[in-house]
Chain A
Amino acid sequence: MEMFSSLLVSAILMGCTYTLVAIGYCLFFGVLDVVVFCCGDIAIFGGFSIIGAYTILYSAGVLQAVPAFVAVLIMLTIAAILCAALGLIAYQFSIKPFEKSSTLMPLLSTIALGVVIKEVLGLVFQPVVNSIAAVVTSVDDPLSVVGGRNPQAMPNLIAGSGSTDERNLIIIAVTLAILIALFLFLNKTKIGLSMQAISQNKELALMTGVNVKRTITATFIIGGILLAVGGFLLSSYQTIIRFDGGAMYGSKGFSAAVVGGLKNTWGAVIGGMLLGFVEVFTAGYIPGGTQYQNIIAFLVVILFIVFRPEGIIGEKSIEKV
């Protein structure tokens, strides 16, 4: 029973981190009808921005001067701004130029951008951060190529006391708070409603007078902030962060979004949780399951694509010719 409850907590935590990136996919897909494949890398970039902000602010003595709570908020704000900016860059340079071409183009160009983000993180950002403060872990990583590209230790910034239980609780609370804020934003504000309008019927949204360009820009800012928080929670939960972790994190998030129904934000929450549960319980109950958790998780996704392609709460879409 004890094992079950601890697995349950891990599953929820895993689900929380997947949910945020899945919602990012949903929001972008909603307004653009394009899968922005670099979401995972943007989130990892967010995690690294936090470490960067932490090392810089810590050596400047700013973080010690303010309460821990404020310090985390400051770092989160910095990461959110950077990720929002990266989101806008992604839109401007890898999606907008292909507006009129087939949807395959932005798909490829966002994958390419993801690779660029990953490599820049690995080649430039991580060594710089490492040289400012020696927080490199001693973890031996067989995949690391050069020094300084080892997994980066994520300092336990969330829980003041350093306890894991407190950290876990805060991760869940932050995710819940973000979901509530997102719900209010989507349903009560004009920009949120415009985003939904574009997602449901773009032509009618245009005819209604929605400023589509401004709404898309806003979506990338919101999405960037969500991804920054997602990256922060993920790296805090895993206690390490890898520059090349974006591909796996991104594909998990994308899978969660597909399982939930790509245009449905709440489906993404369910999809994320489902994926988290499948993974954690596979690792927990199947002997040697840790090695198979990803395989089983993606198997579930494949089953969904085969038997319920519209997702858990998605609606069947009929493509008009």
Chain B
Amino acid sequence: MSMEEMNLLNVSGLYTSYGRIPMLMNVSVELNEGCACCVLGANGAGKSTLVKAILGMVKADQGSIIFKGQDITSWSTYKRIAAGIQVASAATGTFTKMSVETNLKLGAYNINDPKLLAERLEEIYTSFPVLKARLNQKAGTLSGGERTMLAIARAVINKPSLLIMDEPSLGLAPIVVDEVFRIVRRLNKNEKITIMLVEQNAKKALSVSNAGYIIQKGQIIFSGDTETLKNSEFLENPVM
């Protein structure tokens, strides 16, 4: 990477809990600008909790979250989104009773300039042609793959500094999964968006990232670049 490596997101020593049950314990994650980094883990390992903590939807009991050099640990969610974090989450889905177009416009919540919004919409239509054909259709009537595309497009329309993708391959047919990961790679390589990919599908996730973390029972048990990860014993764990 020839780009000057700048630290975009720095989560350090993060603890969260659900009631009295601890969820994340001493989790530290570092993301450099321009990288694609995956967070791997089994169901219930704490991946989604980590995403929600970064977004401020789950309170941090201890530790800090630094984004673009600013301490955002106590910020509310909408402020973090305005600062340039976006999430595409397959599980959270879309606004099912609204049209695809309204979904995209709502996604661009912080774009107030109508001219810029029109431009961005055009860009989205060229990069996600599936959606252009479905603009006036209610999001709830889309297929699973189209819905995932919409979830990604809704986030990407903002040109975020950090795009968190929460299990984009969830519940999709293998051929659609390939398409989703092609989009992930394109966003990272061509559009230079920093991506944090949270996945269960380790093999696919590693194929598009340059660094990774493995999370288990709320703790990071491994971190390193993709090559080391691919050969690590942790991936052989049948739970993964």
Which residues does A use to contact B, with CB under 8 Å? 190, 193-194, 196-197, 200-201, 203-204, 206-213
- B107 contact from A200, A201, A208, A212, Cβ within 8 A: A208
B156 to chain A, nearest CB (A): 13
B-chain residues with CB within 8 Å of residue A190 when the two chains form the complex: 109
Alpha-carbon distance A212/B102, docked complex (angstroms): 18
Q: With A206-B55, A207-B87, A209-B110 given, can you name 12 additional A-B contacts, CB distance below 8 Å? A: A190-B109, A193-B102, A194-B106, A197-B98, A197-B106, A200-B95, A201-B93, A206-B57, A207-B57, A207-B92, A208-B81, A211-B76
Say whether A209 contacts B93, CB under 8 Å: no
Chain A residue nearest to B89 in the complex (CB): A207
- A209 contact from B78, B94, B102, Cβ within 8 A: B78
Can you give 15 contacting A-B residue pairs, CB < 8 Å?
A: A196-B95, A196-B97, A196-B98, A197-B95, A200-B96, A200-B97, A201-B92, A201-B96, A203-B92, A207-B57, A208-B81, A209-B77, A209-B78, A211-B76, A213-B76
Please, what's the 1-or-0 string for B58-93, where 1 marks a CB less than 8 Å from any CB in chain A?
000000000000000000111001100011010011
Chain B residue nearest to A211 in the complex (CB): B78
Alpha-carbon distance A243/B43, docked complex (angstroms): 56
Alpha-carbon distance A208/B154, docked complex (angstroms): 8
Alpha-carbon distance A193/B154, docked complex (angstroms): 15
Say whether A209 contacts B82, CB under 8 Å: yes
A266 to chain B, nearest CB (A): 12
Please, what's the 1-or-0 string for B104-144, where 1 marks a CB less than 8 Å from any CB in chain A?
01110110000000000000000000000000000000000
Say whether B109 contacts A204, CB under 8 Å: no
A216 to chain B, nearest CB (A): 13
Interface of A, helix, strand, loop or mixed by DSSP: helix
A312 to chain B, nearest CB (A): 16
Which residue, A190, A197, A208, has most C-beta atoms of chain B within 10 A?
A: A208
- Closest 8 pairs between A and B when the two form their complex, measured CB to CB: A209-B81, A209-B109, A211-B78, A204-B92, A207-B87, A200-B95, A206-B77, A209-B78
Given contacts A197-B106, A208-B81, A209-B109, contact A203 B95 (CB under 8 A): no
Which residue, B82, B95, B154, has most C-beta atoms of chain A within 10 A?
A: B95
A313 to chain B, nearest CB (A): 11
Chain A residue nearest to B96 in the complex (CB): A200
B-chain residues with CB within 8 Å of residue A207 when the two chains form the complex: 55, 57, 77, 81, 86-87, 89, 92
B167 to chain A, nearest CB (A): 14
Say whether B97 contacts A210, CB under 8 Å: no
List B residues 26-70 near A (Cβ within 8 Å).
Answer: 55, 57
B-chain residues with CB within 8 Å of residue A200 when the two chains form the complex: 95-98
B114 to chain A, nearest CB (A): 12
Alpha-carbon distance A210/B86, docked complex (angstroms): 12
Say whether A208 contacts B109, CB under 8 Å: yes
- B95 contact from A201, A206, A211, A212, Cβ within 8 A: A201
Chain A residue nearest to B87 in the complex (CB): A207
B230 to chain A, nearest CB (A): 31
Chain B residue nearest to A212 in the complex (CB): B78
Alpha-carbon distance A153/B106, docked complex (angstroms): 47
Say whether B106 contacts A193, CB under 8 Å: yes
B-chain residues with CB within 8 Å of residue A194 when the two chains form the complex: 106, 109
A165 to chain B, nearest CB (A): 40
A-chain residues with CB within 8 Å of residue B86 when the two chains form the complex: 207
B121 to chain A, nearest CB (A): 15
Chain B residue nearest to A264 in the complex (CB): B97
Which residue, B105, B109, B110, B154, has most C-beta atoms of chain A within 10 A?
A: B109
Chain A residue nearest to B107 in the complex (CB): A208
